[in-house]
Structure 1
Amino acid sequence: MTTIDRPAPPPARTHKRDRRWVGQSVRRVEDPKFLRGRGGYLADLVTPGMLHAAVLRSPHPHARIVSIDTAAAAALDGVHAVITGAQAAELTDPLPDFGPDPANHVWRCLAVDTVRYVGEGVAVVVADSRYLAEDALELIQVEYESLPPIVDPQAALEPGAPLVHEPLGTNCAYERSFDFGDVERDFAEADLVVRDRLRWHRSGGQPLETVGAIADFDHGSGQLTVHTNSLSFTSYLFMAAASLRIPANRLDVRQVPAGGSFGSKLFVTKPLVLAGMCSRMVGRPVVFLEDRVDNIANCDHHGSDRVYDVELAVMRDGTLRGLAIDVIDDYGAYIQFGVGHHGNALAQVVGPYTIGSVRYRVRAALTNKNQQGAYRGFGSEVNNWMLEQMVDKAARELGMDPVEIRRRNFIRDFPYFIPTGNVYDSGDYDAVLDQTLRLGRYDHWRTEQKRLREQEGRYIGIGLITCAERSVFSATEFWFWFDEPGAPVTSMPESVTLTVDATGGITATLYSCAFWGNSPETMVAQLVAEEFDCDPHDVSVAYQGSRNGLPATGPGGSRTTVMLAGAVEGATAKIKAKARRAAAHLLEADPDDLEWADGGYQVRGVPDRRKSLGDIAIALHLFKHGFPEDIESGLEESKVFDHPYTTMPSADRKDLGVFYPFVGHACHIPVVEVDIESGAVRFLAYAAVHDCGTLVNPRSLAGHILGGVAQGIGTALYEEYVYDDDGQLLSSSYMDYLIPSAMEVPELAIGHVETPSPYTPHGIKGGGEGGRMMAPAAVNAAVNDALAPLGVRLTELPMTPERIRAALRTPR
């Protein structure tokens, strides 16, 4: 077996135990403004006098645009501009993406000569109101020449299939196979090879407020100011500016609360470019805010859409040896993130198990559908589902209990390098499993399951899954797929500025999205309060637009708490270092004789000789000549915090490096009842235990888990973007796209195990995607357990009543 020479991990941190605020369920500091309706969502910023944009969308999945007549729309009173795709191509450059062959795979804010999915924009109208803009859209006459659509991802890869992008000459946007470890040996020596084909259909995040932007172009200065609910804008600001053909230092993007995202607003450029283009043309502020049909059909952030052929090499004693994955992923008409979804999967491809080798083949198919983007889990939740399905199937074929096979294969020695090269920093998977078995009353439900089947003929199922949750991505995951990446980016920082005013009040300024779900203001306030011994509710949190911003990446990949904790820690250390020098001068003491205690510096052993942070701050603000020349006025410091642990991939890509090293863990046990007549699934109980390292705010994390489980239940049972064979989107509204309500989501029993990361501030790991990373696998396992006596096993999500009844008619 090849030995990989890996860089040594960084030194382990020492974490203090006597924390005052980190670990407390602090009431959210954001609550007052949101409860009063003062949250400042994008729609709240629309004022009289702004113009409104609406987009004309293609009714065809694939067609050439023969002609567009906009005369009647442009003549309508109150219409200020009508811009077609061809005109937009003269005003803007293509949108930023990391797809194949940019010369032959061009993604624009409006289609120029060919539409490639139902809902793709072909023209935009700017008018006095959204209602008037919508009326004008109906006056635009478009002549289309229909082209054959391709919808099935497997058929799209067959020779002779209609091409989504003819200049590409193929519908395969990417193909590569990786071997990690000795795959051939592990399969040759296996006692059993478990095989299966699995199908995960696409769904997506459904934000309460859709995606949008308010743009205001100043022709006098050439400055474009945009308010948008995109989550990430600072790192790739220059790309959006390039699309708009303006210098990056003339674009100021200002964040507003996301209004719900779940990943679907991770990197929103199309609305920004549309609104910016329109404002520059008409010389007035323009708002573009999607309606619900816009968002469902054209959000550019549909979730994964995969077909798996999987093999799992197993020994008779239940030991897992090797994993071979062949996956086709339907990316739709464009591929903005490349195959980054599979980088997420490769970060935790073996789950919590000591599987020694992995073969991973991925083919990215282009079809006539809206493109994939980010949705909570970003592809790793699909990998969790696939792996847990295979482990359960192996257990059944070996006659083993699902608890036993998992416990037998758990990773127990950390840090642990998985075959791909990523590292798992810490964990205690046995403790998580044991707590979930108790919390979920596993033995009780096994007894009840037998009794209810025998005495009442009811089909009760108990699901049990144990999954990993990677967090804090490194940028290398977006380019290690290529031998010679076009943009080998490695920086994904986060920044904070801390200011202590003359009264001792503390303000934390952030440079990424304002409120997207993990309560960033509360989290940062807790971290600042922990460092300065103040109350979190006394910390003011502000946001800075991109024009004056420090480097920041924003949320995604469950990274923000860890990264902002590092930035807060670094800025705090700078402030305390300056405050120590100032206090030493004021107290006429040696700085080495001072210690920080109770919100200030005091002389060791003489607590009466002290200066509070407020005392120091007012002196530094107002009494410059009371200090030595080398101590400047004021008390403000910034910290740009880079990834705390990442390594480069090997040149031969046998080792992808450390790119997602802070790996949490969870065990979920749902109990369901399946009605075999109707195919309906009802929850009887649900227990979930998570290990996200050191908890910052348990109540906030519980909200993450509950919301993620609700979305995972939707993925497992209800939600699907359904395209028919002709490429028409059949689930374009909530009449057809079903979302679980509070009536379908069970009460959760939630528990926690804390194994601090040795490499992050306070030992924190990410936890924002956890519920959805686990619930689809857990619910699928429960349904399969319920129907096992009938020889039925569901391998396709969502498990709608129709699919359950069809499976009952053709048991496997």
Structure 2
Amino acid sequence: MASHLDSNVIPPSRQREAPRAGLTWIGQSIKRVEDPRILVGKGGYIDDVALPGMAQAAMVTSPHAHARIRSIDVSEARALPGVIGVYTGEDLSRVVDPCPSFASPPVPQHAIAIGKVRHVGEVVAAVVAEDRYIAEDAAELVQVEWEQLPANVDIEAALEATGDAVIHPGNFDGNRALDESFSFGSVDEHFAAADRIVRRRLRWHRSSAQAIETCGVVAQYDPFKGGYTIHANTNFYNFIPFVIGGSLRVSPGELRIVPVLAGGSFGSKVFTHKIIIMTAGLARLAGVPVKYIEDRLEHFTNADSHGSDRLYDAELAVMNDGTFRSLRFTVLDDYGAYLQFGVGTHGNAMAQVTGPYRIESFGMRVVAVLTNKTQQGPYRGFGSEVTNWVMERLADAAAEELALDPVALREKNMIQPDEFPYMIPTGNIYDSGNFPKVLAKAKRLIDYDAWRRKVQELRREGRCVGLGVATCMERSVYGPTEWWSLNSRESPGFTLTSTPEGISLRLDPSGKLFVTLNSPMVGNSPETVVTQVLAERLTIAPEDVVINYADSQSGFNGVGPQGSRFTAMIAGACVSASIKLEERLKRFGAYMLQRRVESVEIRDGAVAVVGSAGQEKTFGEIALASSFFRLDFPDGEDYDSGIECTAVYDHPLSTCPDPERKHLGIFYPIVGHICHIVAVEVDPGTGKVEILDYAAVHDNGTIVNPRTLGGQVWGGTANGIGTTLLEQFVYDEEGQFTNPNFAEFAMPTAHEMPRSFKLDHVETPSPYTEYGIKGGGEGGRLGAPSALTSAIEDALSDFGVKITALPVTPPVLRGLIRAAEATR
């Protein structure tokens, strides 16, 4: 281990439930508990919320990327029958403060712009009316006088901007929000000693999650209590509601956020603070409950959830025998007009930046660039999908330059099974894995050697067929230090270190187990996971588990589904709560059986005498007695009525960054592994890519539910295919958003999916989480772009085409082919 990591000591495991064979419910493909009510239309989404006297809101948005607001005339809109009120940013600022910012230094953002707009689609006024139709009609009557300013679109040119082209002149001299360099280990020495330095300039263009449901809020202000009740399809409602309360100028006791089902998130609903603050403020100003749900154009242009938009100058230090020594890059990151999460996406990527390979050191310069576009937010992978792609592009380039087989090169550099836990140069660890086994299984699954022969045969027929391989990481169960570990040491911001997950359990006298979760359902399977883990731990039937959701006042710590964390974290909370519940059940059950607590056990949904059949009390009998027959038990608080408990599960393994940033600590250590192998054919005349065969092998530790994990991998892979072949938000030189609908922002359909998709798993359980569970919600998107890019480049190798930017749409590929033909 390199000396810069000496202070990063791995804490001992706190695992209580070791992975093992013979489990009853964990590992079974039970049907999703969530599905019945959703399939019959009884799920309860945001648009299902209707309050007495509720009004609807519509927005007036900026047609310009960068402009001063000279005046806003709302008189004609206010006069329209059915309009309750029309409100500008100044109006809203009477009742709410700016949105919270997690960047350091913070970049101020108002929910409705004041004085200036910084991207197309930014809200400049809001109409509240009796219905959405009237509100939309009134919004068209609002007159805004603009003074246009220079628009920053190009990521490199934005760094040179001065004068009126500076987006936040009161906060920054230019459009450079942050510029920090890091060196983890002996980077310069390793590069100096390398036989070869492989260099690539790589461009990852922006796209975003497009869930079936956009972001929405229903807000009600209570003037007597001075507080809000807010229904929202957001993830974060129970973790940091006080932050939203601060912007609303109320205490957490005056703010109640009620979760609803969300029609998908993929990161886009992690923290929808702006729409919550805006809608709540409108409800207070209008004096009525207000519903606002983004239309698709608003979600495209103002949801603050665009994905990564980066330019890399990347280098890999390699020896002539193919040994990787060091990795370094400079990355310009186009964050758009604001900086809500700082450079946290790079903290995320630093958890696995060197991939599955033994690389001794790593260096990075990250430059956060502000432009006149919608700001970035979480999107499945949250930056790690990009660095996976960069690492795999460099691995392919090294294989080509050294004339080595790309698979053999990867095998040579892979971390071996006996090296875990393995600490990478940034300080994060990989908890467990068997990377060669995953690769070997993927090769068998697709019949790799046969495909290599087939590729050559098809090429002799004149067809452009290629084979691509990617071996990537899937970090999971994040620790929050990633949000600030890359910030300036002088102003790191809010240096939080907790990301817990909580749960509460109550046994009803009928024997039903009532469970309250503190995190929402955003398309994942929280109820299914909890049902399986609790049924396993408490030896009860899944149908005896009843699940509900707390709101922000009745619940407690719960960060929710994001960063591939929820299954591992909620399983830990289930184990913690089960231990507490079992202690109470045994105490009451033992007394009812007239036995010592040490002589009873939990068995088949009952407290039973060890080694004696027929001497038991069911959970229902114990719950009934403890709830209604207090005088049958000894006096004292150990026998207070009821069988219930709450529990919070903290991160299973994390440490703080080194004060001098020699390393970033352990912050994302529950690490899965991915191997995707894909065969494609490219039509050189049209640029169309057809996926001929696809194999994906994932290692996500102990699998709780193969059916739901398979769905996550399938969906993530579809997501990654779209990222690679189709999806890009395109801005013109004036900052206009040019493809604001699904006809122009093309997403993959069933027609683009591989007809042959082979999925399998390797299970190397984590030694740190309960049952050895790892996360698995992002893996498909973390691997697919790298594998597909490699396959497309291989298919076009006769043309000498190099893929250095994504997406590679048909027009892009045609352009690359034409350019290559012109130089032949």
- Give me the TM-score of the superposition, normalised by structure 2: 0.97
Q: Does 1:610 align with 2:616?
A: yes
What is the DSSP-based 3-state SS (H/G/I as helix, E as strand, rest coil) of the residue aligned with 2:3?
coil
Q: 1:500 pairs with 498, 507, 516, which one?
A: 507
On the 8 A contact 2:343/2:483 being kept in 1, the answer is yes
261 and 11 in structure 1: CA distance in 2 versus 1, 3 angstrom threshold: closer
Report Cα offsets for 1:754-786 as digits up to 9, x if no partner: 000000011001110111111111111110111
Q: Assess if the C-alpha contact under 8 Å between 1:469 and 1:767 holds in 2.
A: yes
Residue 465 of structure 1 and its aligned partner are, at CA, apart by: 0.3
In 2, the alpha carbon distance for the partners of 1:48 and 1:289 equals 18
**Cα shift readout 1:89-142 (whole Å, capped 9, x = no counterpart):** 22210101123434xx31010110000000000000000111100100111110
- State yes or no: 1:583 paired with 2:589: yes
1:498/1:508 contact within 8 Å kept: yes
Which residue of structure 2 lines up, in the alignment, with residue 626 of structure 1? 632
Asked if 2 retains the 8 angstrom alpha-carbon contact of 1:522 and 1:536, the reply is: no
Q: 2:710 aligns to what?
A: 702
The alpha carbon displacement at 1:609 in A equals 1.3
RMSD after superposition: 1.2
Matched residue of 1:176: which SS? strand
On the 8 A contact 1:531/1:572 being kept in 2, the answer is yes
Which amino acid in structure 1 is aligned with residue 723 of structure 2?
Answer: T
Deviation of 1:381 (Å): 0.4
CA pair 48-592 structure 1, distance change in 2 beyond 3 A = closer
- Secondary structure at 2:218 match in 1: strand
The equivalent of 1:432 in structure 2 is: 438
Q: Is the 8 A contact 1:99 1:173 kept in 2?
A: no
Match of 1:363 in 2: 367
Mapped partners of 1:187, 1:221: distance in 2: 64
Which residue is 2:216 aligned to?
212
1:777 alignment partner AA: S
- Are residue 126 (structure 1) and residue 131 (structure 2) matched? no
Q: 1:146–1:159: structure 2 CA closer, same or farther, 3 Å change rule?
A: closer
- Distance in 1 (alpha carbons) for counterparts of 2:169 and 2:663: 35
CA–CA separation in structure 2 for the residues paired with 1:517 and 1:360: 35
Kindly indicate whether the alpha-carbon contact (under 8 Å) linking 1:29 and 1:537 is maintained by their aligned counterparts in 2: no
SS of equivalent to 1:555: coil
* Count of aligned pairs between the two proteins: 808
Q: Does 1:96 align with 2:105?
A: no
Cα distance between partner residues in 1 of 2:408 and 2:366: 31
Instruction: Report how far residue 148 of structure 1 moved.
Output: 0.6
Correspondence for 1:343 among 336, 340, 347: 347
Does structure 2 retain, via aligned residues, the 8 Å contact 1:100–1:173?
A: no
- 1: distance between equivalents of 2:14 and 2:255? 41
Query: How much has 1:239 moved relative to structure 2?
Result: 1.1
Query: Which residue of the partner structure matches residue 755 of structure 1?
Result: 764
CA-CA distance at 1:48 after TM superposition: 6.6
Structure 1 runs not aligned, ≥5 long: none
Which of 693, 698, 708 is 1:685 aligned to?
A: 693
Q: Please report how far the alpha carbon of residue 46 of structure 1 lies from its aligned counterpart in structure 2 after TM superposition.
A: 3.3
Contact 2:19–2:702 under 8 Å retained in 1: no
Within 5 Å, give how 1:44-193 maps onto structure 2.
44-46=48-50, 49-102=53-106, 105-158=107-160, 160=162, 162-167=165-170, 168-193=172-197
Matched, 1:321 2:318: no
| Deviation string, structure 1 residues 39-88 (Cα, Å, up to 9, x no partner) | 11111223574200011000000000000011111111111111101221
Aligned-pair CA distance for 1:518: 2.1
Which residue matches 1:781? 790
- Residue matched to 2:497: 490
Partner of 2:547: 541
Q: Give the 3 Å change call, closer, same or farther, for CA 194–31 of structure 1 in structure 2.
A: same
**DSSP 3-state at the match of 2:213:** coil
Determine if contact 1:600/1:611 at 8 Å carries over to the other structure: yes
2:539/2:602 contact within 8 Å kept = no
Superposition deviation, residue 11 in structure 1: 2.8
* Alignment match of 2:732 (pick from 698, 712, 724): 724
Greater mean deviation of Cα atoms: 407-416 or 477-486: 477-486
* 1:535-579 CA-partner distances (Å, limit 9, x unpaired): 223311100100111111112111111111111101110010011
Deviates more, 1:202-211 or 1:549-558: 549-558
**Could you tell me how far apart the structure 1 residues matched to 2:426 and 2:644 are?**
42
Residue in 1 that maps onto 2:473: 468
What is the CA distance between 1:670 and its match in structure 2?
A: 1.2
**1:158 CA drift (Å):** 2.2
Question: 2: distance between equivalents of 1:11 and 1:338?
Answer: 31
Structure 1 residues 12 and 142: alpha-carbon distance in aligned structure 2, compared to 1, 3 A threshold: closer
Moved more, 378-387 or 214-223: 214-223
Q: CA deviation at 1:271?
A: 1.3
Residues of 2 paired with 1:132 and 1:611: CA distance?
63
Matched, 1:458 2:460: no
- Measure the CA separation in 2 of the matches of 1:126 and 1:450: 64
Distance 1:254 1:470 in 2: 30
Letter in 2 for 1:64: R
Aligned pairs (5 A) from 1:636-655: 636-655=644-663
1:509 and 1:543 in contact (8 A); partners too: yes
CA distance in 2, matches of 1:244, 1:82: 19
Say if 2:54 and 2:288, in contact at 8 Å, map to a contact too: yes
Report the CA distance shift for 1:160/1:112 in structure 2 as closer, same or farther (over 3 A): closer
Contact 1:470 1:660 (C-alpha < 8 Å) held by counterparts: yes
Partner residue of 1:274 out of 274, 278, 282: 278
Residue 386 of structure 1 deviates from its aligned partner by 0.6
In the alignment, the residues of structure 2 paired with residue 16 and residue 687 of structure 1 have an alpha-carbon distance, to the nearest angstrom, of: 28
Of the candidates 415, 423, 437, which is equivalent to residue 417 of structure 1?
423
Do 2:105 and 2:493's aligned partners in 1 also have CA atoms closer than 8 Å?
no
For the Cα contact (< 8 Å) 2:679–2:691, is it kept in 1? yes
Amino acid at match of 1:177: S
Is the contact between residue 162 and residue 174 of structure 2 (CA under 8 Å) also seen in structure 1?
Answer: no
Aligned to 2:750: 742
Offset of residue 36 of structure 1: 0.3
Aligned mate of 2:258, from 251, 254, 261: 254
Cα offset, 1:247, TM superposition: 1.6
Distance (Å, rounded) in 1 between the aligned partners of 2:428 and 2:31: 36
Letter in 1 for 2:469: L
Q: Give the SS at the match of 1:722.
A: coil
For 1:679, give the aligned amino acid: G
Determine helix, strand or coil for the equivalent of 2:276: helix
CA–CA distance in structure 1, aligned partners of residues 10 and 379 of structure 2:
33
Question: 2:505 is aligned with what amino acid?
Answer: L
Query: Which has the larger displacement, 613-622 or 392-401?
Result: 613-622
**Would the aligned equivalents of 1:99 and 1:334 in 2 still touch at CA under 8 Å?**
no
Which letter maps to 1:158? E
Q: CA deviation at 1:159?
A: 5.6
Q: Residues of 1 paired with 2:473 and 2:144: CA distance?
A: 50
2: CA distance, partners of 1:133 / 1:605 = 71
* 2:304 pairs with one of 300, 319, 339: 300
Contact 1:469 1:770 in 2 (8 A): yes
4+ residue runs over 6 A deviation? none
Contact preservation (8 Å) 2:102, 2:494 = no
Residue aligning to 1:663: 671
How far 1:636 sits from its partner (Å)? Answer: 0.6
* Alpha-carbon distance, 1:218 to partner: 1.4
Aligned-residue sequence identity (percent) comes to 49
1:470-519 Cα deviation digits (max 9, x unpaired): 11111111111231422111111110001110011001100111x21221
